[in-house]
Amino acid sequence: MANTPASRKAKGRRFQQWVRDALLEAAIWLEEDDIRSTSMGASGEDLLLSPAARRVFPLSIECKNVERLNIWSALEQSEAHAKIHGTTPVLFFKRNRSPEYACVPAQYLIDLMVGRVRVAAAVRDHITEEKLS
């Protein structure tokens, strides 16, 4: 594929749609139009979330599908949108022939892991109680 502005935009659009689809798959009760991919070059967040989607994913999402990423510049974009919306900045990124990654504030990731540990402990305790009774 030629490295034209149109092909670069198409590549970016496909990645935004991949992120959108992954989020919709995670929250199957959301409607397809609850998370919309914006047009390339539009200002603002790369994915527009409805109020229902924002309650599930309180995030400001920036997507980059590039070979060379200026991570600090991309994070600044996401952080600026997060400040406006009162959300957590998230940067999804990838390059050709590599997996997709997400960059989130460290404390956000730690909080997610703590939540998973608490759920796992509650499930473990519930199973243990059932075995004892």
User: Comparing 8 with 50, which gets the higher pLDDT?
Assistant: 50
User: How many domains is the chain partitioned into structurally?
Assistant: 1
Q: Rounded to an integer, what distance in angstroms lies between the CA atom of residue 62 and that of residue 78?
A: 5
CATH number at residue 27: 3.40.1350.10
Residue 117 covered by a domain: no
Mean pLDDT of 2-7: 79
CA 43 to chain centre: 18
pTM of the model: 0.85
Q: What is the mean pLDDT of the chain?
A: 91
Alpha-carbon span 62 to 89, nearest angstrom: 8
| pLDDT tens figures, 75-130 | 999 999 999 999 999 999 999 999 999 999 999 999 999 988 888 888 887 788 77
> Cβ of 32: how many Cβ atoms within 10 Å?
9
**Is residue 115 a part of any domain in this protein?**
no
Go through the chain and tell me how many residues it has.
Answer: 133
